Structure 1
Amino acid sequence: LPTPTIDNINTLEDRLLRLLRSEQRSSTLCFRYNDLCALDTIQVDLEPEKKGIIIRHVEYAITSMRQNNKVLRRYNDFVALHELLTLKYPYRIIPMLPPKKTVNVDKEFIEERRRALKRYIQILCRHPTISDTEIIKFFLTFRGESCGDNMKATYKNTLDEFSSEPRSLLNTNDNTDKFGEDSDGIKIFRISQTHMSFIHQQLSHIRECLISIHDKHSKNADDFTNIEKTFQALSSESTNIDRWATGSNDYWPTIQVGLADLPIEMSAISERIHEQCKRDDEVISDHLDMLIDLLQGYKDLCKRFEEALLSEQKAIQKANNQQQRRPTITTDTSTKVKAN
């Protein structure tokens, strides 16, 4: 009999994930990290500054591998995108935008905001649901003036993704139990919320430690650069030394020859430390900061859910109170009719 063959476990897993995605099971996590990265890759670069009448304008060149396109965007265009996506996807993870600043804008702030905007749009373009929305496509492909204003005008009447779902009845005891604090769903939500908040807190602490280490290493590199300059000054010092100061000792010129080789070594050490700092900085920005941004987006999602849950509970309570008052009103009316 022929020997049965079994595919590689990774191949079987890929088939299972494709099957789950084809069935569109919204409650199943059927994307791995590599699958999400394959959805799109975004590059955000700074364009030369343009000075306005009052303040200067900073533009960002957005390149999308999926759309095979490059466009220029300003910070306000990102704000318009954020507002539209928050309205359309109130119960999806939407990362926070970096803060806006109009005064004392230096190169360090601009570079930090560029990295934050790159993480922001990267997360959105790798979201299994949000990445396919027309709003994202418009943002990445529109080439006219005022992208943000045109985007708002185009999608101003867009409803949230659950607006077409049938609303549950608010006057049933089942729904009251469903949204109660003691329900299983809410308990699971609270546990998950606490767990994610803890992870966010710990990773933020790790980031602070890494930034502190990075700053110390940068200072060490600068110190080696200063040592290099000091050795250069010593080796190139050309003062004529009188015998009165040195006597019969003629070693100083020989020492200077030896010192002339040290600046090269100090420069190499400084350069290696700077390169390592740059790599560490990229790791922090491209990986750790993105994870922290995702967790912050999850915390914001939990906050929106809690607000919606509170609103739903108030609506249910109001409906139940109205339902309880109706028999009383009917009884009072019947009594008055009999009396007449």
Structure 2
Amino acid sequence: MTNSSEEVTFEDLEATDVISVELVPERKGLILKHCEYYVSSRRHGTTVTRRYNEFVQLCDVFFAKYPYRAVCRLPPKRVVVGGGSPVFLQRRRAALQRWLTLVARHPVLAHDADLRTFLCESSARLEKPKHDEFVLAGTQDDSPRQMSMDEMQAAFVSEQEQLRLVQLGLSRLFKIFERVEGRCEAERADIRELGAGLSALSSPSPADSPRWLAVRQSMKSAAELATAMGESSEEEVDYEDGAGGKVLLALDALGAYRELCGRLTRGLHGERAAAAAAAPHSAAAQLLRRRHGYALACSIEESRVARAYSLAALQSLHALLRTLGAAHARTAALWADLHAALRH
């Protein structure tokens, strides 16, 4: 276990590894097509091919092995005839990349042998462990801690509430950003449709007078501008991998931490009740108390990881606002160009 008093920074986490998950261009299957992914790790210098079910296997191993760690849930699997829409596939790819990034940069999980197998071996056969981290690490024996049990319990309650508020705030901001981006995309779609309408009206007719021809020419120029807008919008920076990436990464980390807190709260109550029911000095009661302390110490470490991602997300908001502002500025400039084209 790492020293819970050490501050965790996003820069330290980011330096651990850089993960890339990309869709294999050709999907397999005759009717129910499935996707494969190229998974790359800068730390190991490897690229392997993985299916969604292999991500599920690794996730199951981590939940069994690390019950006191903040492990994210995978994005849901959706079986669709034909393989699913491109938007769904790209969003799931981005979510899988964030999930694996959080795992590969985690102070403890990054050194897991099963993760290394997943990232490095061409065929990853993973089996659920028979014991969890507490047993596997040999932590049944008491180890000196810088905080007492009461201090760790108080820190657990305090951090849980503070990070809950951070999660709510970031979620609220990101929903606003999504709505703004959605309106911007809808406006771009309207401009493309406007271009199609102007293009249809710009076709000359033998009966056109000079004034009609001038108007049609201006509509043709405006239609070309609107069409160019449609082509340039395809080159927009990926919102999830780009400016909004750190916010989504933080929300995933905070969601995993909140779920961990729920598990620990339920588990700690049960452990305290079991310890109280057992003889105070029995081996079973002592083991429960050690596990209780281990769980609290892990929760403090996990809160520091969640804080590091949250701080990085808050510090990236200016870049996110700049990206959204630039997109709206380009749209506003196009409206001005369309206005100028139609006036001639």
Q: Normalised by the size of structure 1, how large is the TM-score?
A: 0.72
Write the distance in 2 (CA, Å) between the matches of 1:157 and 1:315: 22
How far off is 1:319 after superposition?
1.3
Q: Deviations over 1:164-183 (max 9, x none)?
A: 11257xxxxxxxxx87xxx4
Q: 2:162 aligns with which of 189, 195, 198?
A: 195
What corresponds to 2:181 in structure 1? 214
Q: What's the counterpart of residue 331 of structure 1? A: none
Aligned length: 273
Change (3 A) 1:187 1:320: same
Q: Per the alignment, in what secondary structure is the counterpart of residue 57 of structure 1? A: coil
Report the AA paired with residue 50 of structure 2.
Answer: R
Moved more, 74-83 or 26-35: 26-35
Distance 2:239 2:33 in 1: 31
Partner in structure 2 of residue 266 of structure 1:
226
List per-residue Cα deviations over 1:273-311 (Å, max 9, x = no partner). Answer: 5545x4544336521111100000111111221122112
Identity of aligned residues (%): 25
1:151 aligns with 2:126: yes
Matched, 1:224 2:191: yes
Write the letter of the residue equivalent to 1:160: E
Contact 2:134–2:140 (Cα < 8 Å) also in 1: no
Task: State whether residues 115 and 285 of structure 1, in contact with CA within 8 Å, keep that contact through their aligned partners in structure 2.
Answer: no
When residues 166 and 197 of structure 1 are mapped into structure 2, their CA distance, relative to the original with a 3 A threshold, is same
Q: Which amino acid aligns with 1:120?
A: W
2:163–2:254 CA contact under 8 A, matched in 1: yes
Unaligned runs of at least 5 residues, structure 1: 1-23, 169-177, 243-248, 324-340
Structural mapping, 1:308-323, within 5 Å: 308-320=267-279
Q: Distance in 2 between matches of 1:118 and 1:210?
A: 21
Quick one: distance in 2 between partners of 1:300 and 1:83?
15
Q: Check whether the contact 2:174–2:247 (CA below 8 A) recurs between aligned residues.
A: yes
**1:165 maps to which of 129, 139, 142:** 139
CA RMSD after TM alignment: 2.6
1:110 and 2:89 correspond: yes
Q: Please give the alpha-carbon distance, in whole angstroms, between the structure 2 residues aligned to 1:290 and 1:275.
A: 23
Alignment partners' CA distance in 2, 1:322 and 1:126? 40
Measured at CA, do residues 25 and 73 of structure 1 come closer, stay the same or move farther in structure 2, by a change above 3 Å? closer
Counterpart CA distance in 1 for 2:262 and 2:242 is: 29
Residue 207 of structure 1 aligns with an amino acid whose one-letter code is: F
The aligned residue for residue 296 of structure 2 is none
> Could you tell me which residue of structure 2 aligns to residue 120 of structure 1?
99
CA contact (8 A) 1:221 1:274 kept: no
Residue 55 of structure 1, aligned match among 11, 32, 47: 32
Equivalence for 2:241: 282
Shift of 1:131: 0.7
What amino acid is the match of 1:151?
L
Question: CA separation in 2, counterparts of 1:31 and 1:317?
Answer: 35
239, 246, 249: which one aligns with 2:205: 239
For 1:159 and 1:226, how far apart are their aligned partners in 2?
58
Q: Equivalent residue for 2:49?
A: 72
- Contact 1:98/1:116 (8 A) holds in 2: yes
Query: Counterpart of 1:34?
Result: 11
Larger-gyration structure (1/2): 1
Query: 8 Å contact 1:207–1:288 — kept in the other structure?
Result: yes
Structure-2 residue corresponding to 1:307: 266
CA deviations 1:162-204 (Å, max 9, x no partner) are 5411257xxxxxxxxx87xxx4432321121111111111211
Distance 1:185 1:35, change over 3 A: closer
Moved more, 299-308 or 121-130: 299-308
Rounded Cα–Cα distance in structure 1 between residues aligned with 2:51 and 2:269: 36
Q: Is the 8 A contact 1:42 1:121 kept in 2?
A: yes
**Residue aligning to 2:211:** 251
Match of residue 135 from structure 1: 114
Q: Which amino acid aligns with 1:267?
A: T
Paired AA for residue 49 in structure 1: R
CA 39–321 in structure 1, closer or farther in 2 if over 3 Å, else same: closer
> CA contact under 8 A between 2:103 and 2:110: conserved in structure 1?
yes
> Could you state the TM-score of these two structures normalised by the residue count of structure 2?
0.72
